[in-house]
Amino acid sequence: MAFRLTGHQIALGDFDLNLPLLCGEQPNLISATMKTALKQDSLGLAQSIIIGVAGSAPSFSISATMVALIAAVGVLAPASLLYCGLLMIGIVLAYMHLNKRRPNSGASYAWVTEIFGTNLGFFAGWTLLVASALFMASASIPAASATLLLLQSPYADSQLAITICATIWLCAITLLVVKGIGLTAKVQIVMTLIELLILFGISLMVIIQFGGAALHHFSWQHFALSAFTLSSFANGAVIALFFFWGWDVAINLTEETKNPEKSPGYGIVGAILIILAAFTAFASISLMSLSDDEITQSGTNIIFAVAEKIIPKPWSYVAVLALILSTIGTIETSMLQFSRTMFSKARDGIFHQRWSEVHPQWKTPYAATFLIACFGIITLLLSLSSESIAVVMAASINIIGVQAAYYYGLAGFACAWYFRKEAVRSVGLFITMLLWPTVSAIALWSAAILAMLSFDKLTFTIALGSLLLGVIPLVRFKLRQHKKK
């Protein structure tokens, strides 16, 4: 089922799409006067895997979210992560197949637009943009908290000091991302490998010390679906979704990757397998080594709490180092996702063309990168009005989980619909192109809806309101299109 390009018309299988050309190989067809070519062939397969892992940020996700997950489902936390990971693999397969047919930095936005139309495509991209913007605060807060803890600052518990430190981190990371994907990838590789090595070392020492005397008894029955109620499964899935969110950044960088049809797809498959193993294992490690009170009191530093029980100070601070490295990595990847999605949407005329401009030397969408940095700083300042950092973190985790479920689900449905005829050619294609993506999409949407019903009014309003806010730029785009006619 090959694409045929004729001007700006795309003939796809048995239906034609009169849309702006979304192909990343010839972006200048969109606007000959704009410099909209990203730096090609900057990444390889290994970098795609590492960036995919960094996007999900193992240490950050564990530190920021593990306590909330255990509070929601208790000893079923490892099972929640396992089942959510299996669902996520269905979405990964959808991304892999869709990217193979249409590499595009807009990823879900571009594919859903081509297959289901402008409205759904717009919101697939919009939810990612909103989630990434909100994530700036929830990501930079743990980095700042860990930095002050590592420096043994007397202001480590001060909300104002954490906000100032988080702002400094945001500014520094923004400059790194703007300087180019090549430099960013090199930094990511070093940081992610150190982070994974630290997590593996801590996990191994916990198994040696607590293997015969776990504080929470392990049972295979905890992995049975019957152990969950419908509500607990939904709440656990939305929180677990926050763990995995971010692996798709490797696809957003497809136009900057060698062999863009294959390498990013294989990269996200490798990344999801690594992070699924890391998350499930460390959930078990946390329950094995910490009591209920210790888990609750650890807050956003559960890895450090585990390390303190098995490693004497100051060596236990390697856990804090892992958190800082992971958080830097996930802020970087969120900026990459946001800026590349903005770039793709602006290139297609959805947003102003200024967001599709790339730096003449660094070949990065610098304006879009500065934009998300500004959003992050504003969100951080607004967080000062909250009762505590914990309140900000809990709300953002739930909101981002719901928004990620929406656009991941759309990609799953888009894959199943587009490949519906090709999928019947073999059992393998039927499972990976149609069945698994569809089941994953339905499960993610169902979990998101059930979880939203349990949100407090403020969290529900932000989650739904931030999505509906996208109606404004969408209507403006429609009006511009109407005037051109």
Q: Could you read off the pLDDT of 114-130 as tens digits, one per residue?
A: 999 999 999 999 999 99
Q: How many domains does the chain have?
A: 1
341 within 8 A of 252, measured Cβ to Cβ? yes
Residue 257 is given by DSSP the state: B
CA distances to 145, 152, 159 from 164, rounded to whole Å, are 10, 16, 9
Helix, strand, or coil here: 293? helix
Partner residues linked to 257 by β-bridges: 43
Strand order of the β-sheet with 9-12 is: 3-6, 9-12, 15-17
**Confidence at residue 36, expressed as pLDDT on a 0 to 100 scale:** 63
SS3 370: helix
Q: Are strands 3-6 and 15-17 parallel, antiparallel or unpaired?
A: unpaired
Q: Cα-Cα-Cα-Cα dihedral of 407, 412, 417, 421, to 10°?
A: 160
List the domain range (segments joined by +) for residue 102.
Answer: 42-484
**In the numeric block, which tokens belong to residue 169?**
């981190």
* Residue 369 · residue 335 · CB < 8 Å: yes
Residue 95 is assigned to a structural domain of this protein: yes
* 10-residue mean pLDDT series, the chain (485 residues): 35 36 37 61 90 91 89 93 94 97 94 95 94 83 83 83 90 90 84 93 92 83 89 86 91 94 95 95 93 87 90 88 88 92 93 90 90 89 68 75 92 97 95 97 91 85 88 91 78
CATH code, domain carrying 245: 1.20.1740.10
Any domain includes 24: no
Question: Are residues 383 and 137 in contact, defined by beta-carbon separation less than 8 angstroms?
Answer: yes
Instruction: Examine residue 293 and state whether it is found in any structural domain, yes or no.
Output: yes
pLDDT in the model for residue 258:
93
Residue 34 lies in a domain: no
Instruction: Please give the Cα distance from 347 to 105 (Å, whole number).
Output: 10
CA 32 – CA 24 distance, rounded (Å)? 14
Task: Report residue 108 as tokens.
Answer: 């879900």
Distance CA 450, CA 208 (A): 40
DSSP E strands, 24-169: none
Q: Which two tokens stand for residue 185?
A: 């990838």
- Considering the domain boundaries, does residue 178 fall inside one? yes
The residue type found at 233 is F
The C-alpha angle 465, 468, 472, rounded to 5 degrees, equals 125
Query: H/E element holding 41?
Result: none
pLDDT tens-digit readout, 171-182: 999 998 998 888
SS3 for 226?
Answer: helix
In a domain, 22, yes or no: no
- SS3 at position 253: coil
pLDDT the model gives residue 171? 92
pTM above 0.75, yes or no: yes
Q: State pLDDT tens for residues 403-441.
A: 999 999 999 999 999 999 999 999 999 999 999 999 999
φ, ψ of residue 299 in degrees (nearest 5): 60, -120
Beta carbons within 10 angstroms of residue 352's beta carbon: 13
Cα–Cα distances in Å, from 73 out to 202, 218, 223, 448?
24, 15, 12, 16
Q: For residue 383, which of 147, 183, 174, 144 has the smallest C-alpha distance?
A: 144
Q: Is residue 3 part of a domain?
A: no
In a domain, 10, yes or no: no
